[in-house]
With several copies, the nearest count.
Chain A
Amino acid sequence: MSVTILYFARLRETLGMTQEKIELPAHAASVAGLLDHLRARGEEWHAALAPTQSYRVAVNQDMADITTPVCDGDEVAIFPPVTGG
C-alpha cells in the first residue's frame, strides 16, 4: 500500500527529507510497523527514529501513537515535539 510521509523541523533537516511516497508492506500497517520499516534504511534513520528519541507521529493530521493503524493513501507526519505559541 502507498503512504505519504512528511517530515518537519529538526527531523526534516536530520533526515534530509521533506516528503516522500513509499510502498509499505501490508504486515507493517501501523505506526510501529512504519517506523520499523524506516529504521531499516540505515544508521542515520535508526538513530533519528529510535524509540528513545523524542518525536511525534500524526496520521491524517491527527496525533497518533505506535498502535495507530496506517492504511493505503494515509498521510503520516513525523516531527519533533511542538514548540509554537
Chain B
Amino acid sequence: MPVRVQEADFDLSTEINAFRAGRPEIGAIAVFVGLVRDVNVGSAVSGLTLEHYPAMTQKALEGIVAQATQRWEIIDALVIHRVGHLQPMDQIVLVAVASAHRGDAFHACEFIMDYLKTQAPFWKQEQTPDGARWVEAKASDDSAAARWIKK
C-alpha cells in the first residue's frame, strides 16, 4: 500500500507499471490524476503552493488507504501527492487502486480521493493577479466524503 509525498513530478506509466508488475490477478485499475487548473473561483491562477504537515501526511494517507482496503476487495492501492510549487497543468495527486473487478477499484479510488480531500493535511495557496490567496475548503468536499459514512 505505497503512499508517497514528494516535490518531484511522477510519470503515470512508470508508476502504474511498477504498481502492477508481477500481479496477473489484477483485472482492473482505477486511476485518478488531479491537475493544477489555470482558473479557480473566477480568477486566473498562475501557480500553486502546496503546504503540508509532514509528520501527519503519510499517517493520514495510510489510514485512508487502510479504510478503503477494509471496505472493498482490493489488491493494492497507490497514493502519490506532491507538495511545493506547481504550475498550471502540473500533476498534483495520483491515486490508483487495483482489484480483480472494476466496481471495487472504482469505488475505493473515489473513496480515497474524497477522504484525502477532507482528511489529509494539505493546503493550497494560489497565485492570482490580485496576489496569493489560500484556497477555501469546499462544502461539496465535505458532502462527498459524507456519502461514504455507513448508515
By a beta-carbon cutoff of 8 Å, the part of chain A in contact with chain B is: 6, 8-10, 54, 58, 61-63, 75, 77, 79-85
Contacts and interface: CB of A to CB of B under 8 A. Distances in A.
A85 B134 contact: no
Given A58-B56, A83-B117, A84-B93, 8 more contacts: A9-B125, A54-B137, A58-B121, A61-B53, A61-B59, A63-B119, A82-B117, A85-B120
A84 B137 contact: no
B56 A61 contact: yes
A10 B133 CA distance: 9
Nearest to B83: A84
B116 A85 contact: yes
Nearest to B142: A81
Interface residues of B, number: 28
Interface in B105-136: 113, 116-125, 134-136
Given A8-B121, A77-B121, A85 B51 contact: no
B59 A9 contact: no
